Every structure is written in C-alpha cells, then in structure tokens.
C-alpha cells in the first residue's frame, strides 16, 4: 500500500526557448503514453540527509536539468494529424509517496514483476480525462520505504524520446543532483541535441524497399482476425539468465550477439509452448537503435526517437523447432542487418508518404498490429546504463520495469543488477502458455550447459 503525500509541477529554473518544435517522422510512430516506466530502488543511506533534504535535492536538480532538456517541460499537441511539441515550460509532474508496508525492506522488492503489485510505485496520469495538450510529458514519483530505502519511478511519453535518450537525460539529472550544484548545467557534455530534422524525410521520394515491418504479422492459422487472441488472459514473468548461460547460448546459436542468442532461445520456447501447427507462420518484431547505422551518424546526444522497428523473415514453427538454434539466430540477424542507411532513409520516406499507416507501427495501440500469438515482440535494452543513476545516495541496487504494454508476446531484455553480464527478461505471454514457456526456457538452458561440459 502506497500513500501519495504530495504532488507538484516542476518547471525549468531559467527561461527556455518557447514555441512549436516539429517532431520527426520517427517520433510520430511512437506511443503518446508514458511507458515503459522505470523503477530504481535504493538502499538506505546512512548520511545525515533527511527525506526533506533528499526531496529538495531532487526537485532543485530536476528544475535545473529541465533547462537544457526543456522539451520535457512542454506539452504535446496535434496539428494536421501530426504530433508536435509545444515548448511552453508548463513543467513536469513530481509526486511524493510513502509505502505503508512495514514488513518489507528493499531486498524484498528485487523480484518486482510489472503487475498490479508495483503499480503504486509508478507515477500515473488519467488519459481519459486529461486532454493531450495538458498532460505532463515526464512523470516522477519518489516513494519512501518503511526501511528507509527509496524508490524512484519515472515515466516519459514515448513520442518525445526513446530509451537511449531517456537514460542520457536520467544520468545527466542524477549527476547534477549528486554534485549538488557543483556541476555546471551548461557543461558541454550535458547538452542534448534537439534538431529533429535530422531524421525527417527529404522531399517525397518513394520507398526503395518492401518494408515488412509496416505490414501485419502472421495470424494463427484458421483465424480471420486477432480479436480472440487479444482477449485471452495475459501473465507476466521475470526470467534471469547468467553470463555463463548466455555464453553457452551464444555458442549454441553460433553468434557473438547476446540479443540474437537470447531472442532465438525465446522464439523456440514460444513455439514449443504454443504447440502450434508445424506450418504455422511466425515472426519477431524488435526495435533497433539507428544512431550508429545512419550516415552521417546521429550524434549520441540526440534527444528524440532514433529507433526503427524491424521484422524477421517469416518462418514456420516446424522450421524453428527442427533446425538448430543457429538457424533461428540467423533469421534474427537478418532483421538487424537489413537496417542500412539506405533502408533507414527509405523507412523515413515510407512513414512520410503513408501517414495512414503510422498507427500500425504503434505497439499496444488499439489500431496497431497485434504481434502476439503466434509472434513475439522483443525489445533489447541491455546496452543501457541503467545502474549509473546515482542521485547522491549510491547507485540503485535494482532497476526494473514498472509497467509495459499488456500484450501477449511483448518482452524486454535488460541488464542484470549484479553488473556481471547477466540479463533480466520481462515477458508477457498468454496465461495458458506461460508455465510451459518457463519450463522449456529453463530446461533447454540446462541442456545447452550440459552439452558444453
């Protein structure tokens, strides 16, 4: 049980640029809701800082960091069917709360699953009653645990930025908070790049590729639509894979890529658990950071969405299950290798020309394509510096997803808390398939380990 004690709006500490900021074509294909949200858990710091001192430090540093990151203090609006950003400095929402559960300490929350249990630690907003033009783009909640530990929950509108940009912001904010004003907010290393025209289409060129990521993924054989599958109960699981297990998977998959190895393993286990026809088509949708794939490269400090969805070649259940793991990993690799500079520019042109298809890209949108059974939708975030978020009372002992779309097949691969190369997988799957998936996931990992002994 969490009790909200106060809520306020934090505005930039200095005047910031105002007016409309045009959002890129890649911003348009992201969801407007705040998610997936992040939770950072911190153990009690035995310094002399009181909760009042800590709260003041967070608020003051947030106000300062909003000067270079001023778009976060603005509001979205819709003009001629496109989302645009009104940089009006209306501010971000900051919530303070107390966890009333006296029996729990920080360590009890390490197995946080993004379910109803943790929703109170996540800052929320009522999308039904608050108009788009009035919704804060950044939501922050500081929750004090009974043991003295702290939980910081953060949610940002995905239309404004991707995970890579968000964590650059978070880690700039935490460094500013830790230095308690001794670090110049105008430091060159802290400055984000707001030129979103870098990812816009030039003119109206026709796309040069067949963009399969823009098309509906395979449906279950014999089903005319996906409504029945979408209405089935969904469960969530948190799976952990050690560095040694990852290395065995990579050898089995004949790849140097952690993502390819884990995603291939997940794909095989999903096919087994779902027990579909061997002729059932299936695919994986993933999202890739294109900063280093574009020419010229998109600067690392670009603040926006520099990501592009990509779909694997369509495979059959029988192909996935009868071939070695390396076969599946190769299909996943093909979906990444296709993202050349030419393909990225073609995708930009596609989005520009086919505005009516934009909603189909949005995962979790009522109008978006359903990438559940017989498919998967995997987000890989293992390169994110999620454990660098030190506000001044130490690095987080745990980072987790507070929420993400309640859609079958949706998953995220995150870095483990130990900093030892392990990963954590957040997975949503139809309840009828979850236990079988976990069984196959762990049994096959064990078999791969034995095969390497």
Taking phi over 0 as left and psi of -120 to 50 as alpha, with beta for the rest, 94 belongs to beta
Give dist(CA 170, CA 189) in Å, integer. 14
- Pick the closest to residue 283 from 243, 311, 318, 254 (CA basis): 311
Query: How many Cβ atoms are within 10 Å of 197's Cβ, its own excluded?
Result: 8
Give dist(CA 368, CA 281) in Å, integer. 19
- Strand pairing class (19-22; 138-144): unpaired
Which helix (H) or strand (E) is 380 found in, with range? Answer: strand 376-380
Which one of 86, 359, 390, 444 is the catalytic residue? Answer: 390
Which residue matches tokens 């969801």? 31
Instruction: State whether residue 295 is helix, strand or coil.
Output: coil
Query: How many Cβ atoms are within 10 Å of 103's Cβ, its own excluded?
Result: 7
Q: Is 211 a catalytic residue?
A: no
- Strand pairing class (284-289; 376-380): parallel
The phi, psi pair for 239, rounded to 5°, reads: -115, 140
- Pick the closest to residue 426 from 115, 42, 154, 108 (CA basis): 115
Cα angle for residues 256, 293, 192 (degrees, 5° grid): 115
Taking phi over 0 as left and psi of -120 to 50 as alpha, with beta for the rest, 222 belongs to left
Which one of 158, 211, 265, 433 is the catalytic residue? Answer: 158
How many Cα atoms are found within 13 Å in the side-chain-facing hemisphere of 404? 27
Q: Is 354 a catalytic residue?
A: no
Instruction: State whether residue 280 is helix, strand or coil.
Output: coil
Task: Kindly list the distances between the CA atom of residue 106 and the CA atoms of 2, 145, 291, in Å, as whole numbers in the listed order.
Answer: 15, 8, 36
Give dist(CA 231, CA 66) in Å, integer. 41
- Strand pairing class (92-99; 2-10): antiparallel
- Catalytic amino acids? 158, 390
């Amino acid at each position: 049980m969490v009790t909200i004690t106060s809520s306020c709006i934090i505005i930039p500490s200095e005047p910031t640029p105002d007016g409309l900021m045009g959002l890129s074509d890649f911003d348009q294909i992201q969801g407007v809701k705040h998610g997936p949200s992040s939770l950072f858990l911190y153990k009690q710091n035995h310094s002399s800082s009181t909760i009042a001192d800590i709260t003041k430090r967070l608020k003051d540093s947030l106000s300062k960091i909003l000067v270079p990151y001023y778009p976060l203090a603005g509001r979205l609006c819709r003009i001629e069917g496109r989302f645009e950003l009104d940089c009006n400095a209306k501010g971000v929402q900051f919530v303070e709360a107390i966890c009333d559960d006296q029996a729990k300490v920080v360590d009890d929350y390490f197995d946080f699953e993004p379910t109803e249990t943790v929703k109170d630690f996540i800052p929320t907003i009522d999308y039904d009653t608050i108009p788009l033009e009035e919704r804060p783009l950044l939501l922050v909640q500081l929750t004090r645990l009974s043991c003295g530990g702290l939980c910081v929950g953060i949610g940002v509108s995905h239309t404004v930025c991707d995970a890579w940009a968000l964590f650059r912001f978070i880690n700039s904010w935490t460094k500013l908070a830790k230095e308690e004003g001794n670090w110049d907010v105008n430091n060159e290393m802290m400055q984000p790049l707001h030129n979103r025209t870098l990812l816009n289409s030039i003119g109206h060129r026709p796309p040069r590729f067949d963009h399969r990521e823009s098309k509906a993924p395979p449906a279950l054989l014999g089903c005319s639509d996906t409504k029945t599958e979408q209405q089935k109960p969904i469960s969530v699981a948190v799976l952990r894979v050690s560095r040694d297990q990852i290395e065995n998977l990579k050898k089995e998959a004949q790849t140097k890529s952690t993502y390819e190895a884990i995603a291939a393993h997940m794909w095989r286990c999903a096919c087994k658990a779902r027990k579909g026809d061997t002729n059932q088509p299936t695919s994986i949708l993933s999202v890739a950071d294109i900063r280093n794939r574009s020419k010229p490269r998109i600067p690392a400090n670009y603040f926006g969405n520099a990501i592009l969805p990509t779909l694997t070649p369509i495979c059959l259940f029988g192909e996935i299950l009868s071939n070695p793991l390396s076969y599946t990993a190769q299909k996943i690799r093909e979906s990444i290798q296709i993202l050349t500079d030419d393909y990225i520019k073609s995708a930009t042109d596609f989005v520009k020309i086919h505005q009516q298809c934009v909603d189909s890209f949005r995962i979790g949108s009522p109008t978006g394509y359903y990438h559940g059974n017989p498919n998967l939708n995997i987000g890989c975030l293992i390169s994110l510096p999620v454990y660098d978020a030190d506000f001044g009372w130490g690095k987080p002992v745990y980072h987790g997803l507070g929420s993400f779309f309640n859609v079958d097949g949706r998953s995220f691969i995150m870095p483990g808390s130990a900093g030892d190369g392990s990963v954590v997988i957040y997975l949503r799957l139809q309840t009828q398939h979850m236990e079988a998936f976990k069984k196959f996931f762990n049994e096959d990992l064990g078999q791969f380990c034995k095969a390497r002994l």
